[in-house]
Amino acid sequence: MTTHFNAYSCPLDGVNLVEAGAGTGKTYNIQILVLRLILAGTDIRKILVVTFTDAATAELRDRIHRILTAMRDALAQLVGKEERESQDIIASLNEQLRGFFQNTAPANGDDWRQDLPGTLTKVKDALRNFDQAPISTIHGFCHRMLNENAFE
């Protein structure tokens, strides 16, 4: 029996392993999971994203940065707007971002939509710290750990 993975509603606690064949949407789902974690308050420097190749790592970094930038811009438009204006803005967003407003469930009882200015700050912080995000290949992650913990 196959189940459909829904990155907008799967649990965020614990370890998430996304494993599937080529062209099945792994990168799409990973970027959604990363953004959900950030919206739930996780520091981007604490989210480990590991893949196999340098090309896949570069694509993941680019896609995660793009979705963070798009969410920052969307939230900046929404802060302080009336409900009707907000609905029009949300309707104009791309499918992926619209999914965040329509499909995500509150994580750990924390609904990021209730505090848009605070959520905007979380996304801005993630963008500011993006270069320190541990998004790498398996061997790159191992190399980093050996360098950071050489004397341990």
Size of the chain in residues? 152
What is the pTM (predicted TM-score) of this model?
0.86
Which residue, among 137, 129, 107, has the nearest Cα to 46 in the 3D structure?
A: 129
Maximum alpha-carbon separation in the chain:
58
Which residue, among 129, 126, 101, has the nearest Cα to 116 in the 3D structure?
A: 101
Write down the pLDDT at residue 5: 76
The torsion angles phi and psi of 105, rounded to 5 degrees, stand at -95, 150
Cβ pair 90, 71 in contact under 8 A: no
* Helices and strands of the chain, counted as H and E runs: 6, 2
Three-state secondary structure call for residue 147: helix
The torsion angles phi and psi of 137, rounded to 5 degrees, stand at -80, 170
Q: What is the pLDDT along the chain (152 residues), one digit of tens a residue?
A: 456 778 888 888 877 666 777 778 788 889 999 999 999 999 999 999 998 899 999 999 999 999 999 999 999 999 988 888 888 888 888 888 888 888 776 665 568 888 889 999 999 999 999 999 999 999 999 998 899 898 88
Q: How far is CA 144 from CA 25, 49, 61, 141, in A?
A: 27, 13, 17, 5
Helix (H) or strand (E) holding 50: strand 49-51
Write down the pLDDT at residue 109: 56
